[in-house]
C-alpha cells in the first residue's frame, strides 16, 4: 500500500519517542498522522475519524497496549476497529508478543525504533492482510500464523549489536564514538548499514532516557538517510557527513545547553534539506 494511503493514529505517552515516530513517518511521505499522548483522547478521535494504521505504545496507562487493543477491537462503535494495530515496546518479550497476539494486535515492534524496521513492518502487514475474526472469544486478525514481530533484541543480527564493540555501549560517550566511527566507515565504503543502525539504536536509547530532544531529532534525521539514500553516492556521503558532524557536536555540548543543542539539530535538518534540493535540481 502506498504510504500516501496510510492514515495513522499514534498513541505514545512519551512525547520524545512520539516525535521520533512522527519524523520517521513524515520523512517517508506519510501525510495523515494524528498523535495522542493519552489513550482516552485517541479513543475519542477514533470514534469519529477513521484510521487504517494504529501505532500504540505497550507502556500506556491506565490500560497497557495489549489491554487497550483488546478493548478497542471489541468496541463496535469504532469505525476503525479492523485497522492494523502495531504495538511498540522497549521491554519486548515472547510473553508480551503472545499477550498482544491474543489481544488482536497485528505486530509487536521493539524499541528503540529504526525507520527501516517500522516502515517495513507496517508495509508487510498492510500488503499481506489476514482474515479478520469477529468471534465471541476473540476479535482481530487471524492468529494461527502468530503475531508479526520486529526489532526485538533476540531477532537483531549480531552485526547490529556488535557495532559498538564486544560488550556494547556502556556509556553515552562510547555510544557516540561507535556511531561516529560507523558513519565514517560507511562513507568510506568500509562498513555496512547494519553497523550504523545498531550503533544508532544505542544512541537513540540514551536520547529517549535523557529526554534529549536535539539528539533525538538528529537521530531521526540520520535514520531517514540510512533508508533513503545510496550511502556510497556523493549525496549519501554528504548526508552522512552532516549527521556525523551534528552528532559529534552534540557529544561535546552539555545536556543543559538546550539552546545550543537545538541550534545544532536545526542546522542538521537545514543542511540535509539543502542536499535534497540540490539532488532534485541536478
Task: Report percent pLDDT > 90 for the chain.
Answer: 38
- Name the nearest CA neighbour of 193 among 148, 238, 225: 225
What is the overall mean pLDDT for the chain?
83
Q: How confident is the model at residue 35 (pLDDT cuts 50, 70, 90)?
A: very high
* CATH number for region 3-155: 3.40.50.2300
Distance (Å, whole) CA 20 – CA 126: 22
Q: How confident is the model at residue 250 (pLDDT cuts 50, 70, 90)?
A: confident
Choice between 198 and 43, residue whose per-residue pLDDT is larger? 43
Mean pLDDT, rounded, for 126-130: 92
Q: What is the number of other CB atoms lying within 10 angstroms of the CB of residue 178?
A: 23
pLDDT of residue 57: 94
Distance (Å, whole) CA 68 – CA 219: 30
Report domain extents, the chain. 3-155, 158-281
User: DSSP strand E in the chain: where?
Assistant: 7-11, 32-36, 53-57, 84-89, 107-110, 132-134, 139-141, 148-150
pLDDT of residue 256: 85
Bridge partners for 34 per DSSP: 9
**Which element (helix H / strand E) includes 226?**
helix 213-228
Q: What is the pLDDT of residues 46-85, one digit of tens each?
A: 998 889 999 999 988 899 999 999 999 999 889 999 999 9
pLDDT of residue 43: 92
Which range is least confidently modeled, 25-39, 40-54, 196-210, 221-235? Answer: 221-235
Q: What is the pLDDT of residues 134-183, one digit of tens each?
A: 998 999 999 887 899 987 554 443 333 333 333 333 466 777 777 877 77
Q: How confident is the model at residue 6 (pLDDT cuts 50, 70, 90)?
A: very high
pLDDT of residue 93: 82
User: DSSP strand E in 139-248: where?
Assistant: 139-141, 148-150
Tell me how many degrees the CA angle 54-111-272 measures, rounded to the nearest 5. 85
Phi then psi for residue 169, to 5 deg, are -85, 110
Mean pLDDT, rounded, for 112-138: 91
Whether omega before 136 lies within 30 degrees of 0, making that bond cis, reads no
Distance (Å, whole) CA 46 – CA 113: 24
pLDDT of residue 5: 93
Cα 68 from chain centroid (whole Å)? 20
Amino acid at each position: 500500500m502506498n504510504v500516501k494511503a496510510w492514515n495513522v493514529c499514534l498513541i505514545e505517552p512519551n512525547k520524545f519517542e512520539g516525535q521520533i515516530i512522527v519524523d520517521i513517518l513524515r520523512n517517508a511521505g506519510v501525510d495523515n498522522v494524528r498523535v495522542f499522548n493519552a489513550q482516552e483522547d485517541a479513543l475519542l478521535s477514533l470514534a469519529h475519524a477513521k484510521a487504517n494504521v494504529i501505532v500504540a505504545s505497550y507502556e500506556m496507562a491506565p490500560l497497557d497496549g495489549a489491554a487497550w487493543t483488546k478493548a478497542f477491537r471489541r468496541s463496535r462503535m469504532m469505525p476503525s476497529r479492523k485497522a492494523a494495530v502495531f504495538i511498540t515496546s522497549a521491554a519486548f518479550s515472547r510473553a508480551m508478543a503472545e499477550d498482544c497476539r491474543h489481544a488482536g494486535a497485528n505486530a509487536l515492534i521493539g524499541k528503540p525504533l529504526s525507520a527501516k524496521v517500522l516502515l517495513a513492518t507496517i508495509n508487510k502487514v498492510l500488503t499481506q492482510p489476514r482474515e479478520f475474526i469477529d468471534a465471541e472469544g476473540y476479535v482481530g486478525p487471524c492468529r494461527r500464523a502468530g503475531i508479526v514481530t520486529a526489532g526485538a533484541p533476540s531477532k537483531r543480527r549480531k552485526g547490529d549489536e556488535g557495532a559498538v564493540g564486544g560488550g556494547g555501549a556502556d556509556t553515552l560517550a562510547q555510544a557516540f564514538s561507535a556511531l561516529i566511527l560507523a558513519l565514517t566507515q560507511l562513507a568510506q565504503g568500509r562498513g555496512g548499514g547494519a553497523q550504523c543502525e545498531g550503533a544508532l539504536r544505542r544512541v537513540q536509547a540514551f536520547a529517549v532516557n535523557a529526554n534529549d530532544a536535539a539528539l533525538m531529532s538528529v537521530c531521526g534525521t540520520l535514520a531517514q538517510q540510512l533508508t533513503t539514500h545510496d550511502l556510497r553516492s556523493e549525496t549519501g556521503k554528504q548526508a552522512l557527513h552532516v549527521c556525523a558532524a551534528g552528532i559529534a557536536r552534540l557529544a561535546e555540548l552539555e545536556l543543559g545547553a538546550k539552546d545550543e543543542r537545538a541550534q545544532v539539530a536545526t542546522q542538521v535538518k537545514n543542511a540535509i534539506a539543502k542536499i535534497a534540493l540540490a539532488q532534485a535540481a541536478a
